[in-house]
Amino acid sequence: MFRGLNKEFSFTLDAAANADNALCLRFWTEVEDALKQDWYAESSIWCNPPYSLIPSFIEHAHKAVVTCFLILVRTQAKWWLRLILMNPNTHEIRFLSRNVRFKAAPGTKQKRLKNRAPMAYCVVIFRNVPHKCEIRQTVHCADTGLLLHVINRGSVPGRPTIYDAEVLDQIIDLYERKRATPKEISERIKIPLQTVKRVVQRLT
């Protein structure tokens, strides 16, 4: 998974690591304390923060050009609402299907079905500019990073659905030739009543 993300974002720094588990050539250790470092000076950061310090680390997420966090899915936590969903710098949430497999500890052999976390994880992507659309939410394979499902494409809030010409022709035909009411049209072709009314207004 990390290889795919690194290819996409070209990480220059691992913000929470040590010499044994760092995924980038440059990294901040516990001694260096990432919370005291200058995140503004970085272009692309990878970060899997300590469980107990996730909110503190996310407070810095908006400073680098792009920051990708691998964190636990904690939708019940207050910080998830405030720092993830309500954060204007959150651009994307990638929920991970299958348990995340971490790098084996020094001196141990990496086994295919072991070293997997028992909890649900996701990758959250922050940028140093506010999002102009809704937060894109998707599901990806935890091993390969491949896209499995799109929950929310990150469309512009409030933009109405654009129906194709076939649907519009059907509305016009039902209204003009078969004298159906907007409510009858809405129920028949399963689209919002207000959408039908907007089309009908252009016909009268």
Interacting residues of 156 by C-beta distance below 8 A, sequence separation 6+: 132, 133, 134
Say yes or no to pLDDT of 107 above 70: no
The reported pLDDT for the residue numbered 19 is 92
Please report, rounded to a whole number, the percentage of residues in the chain having pLDDT higher than 70: 89
What is the arithmetic mean of pLDDT over 32-49?
A: 96
Instruction: Look at residues 68, 62, 80 and name the one whose alpha carbon lies nearest to residue 16.
Output: 68
Cα–Cα distance list, 116 to 17, 104, 138 (Å)? 18, 10, 21
pLDDT tier, 199 (very low <50, low <70, confident <90, very high otherwise): confident
The reported pLDDT for the residue numbered 104 is 60
Global pTM? 0.72
3-state secondary structure of 181: coil
Please report, rounded to a whole number, the percentage of residues in the chain having pLDDT higher than 90: 59
The reported pLDDT for the residue numbered 153 is 84
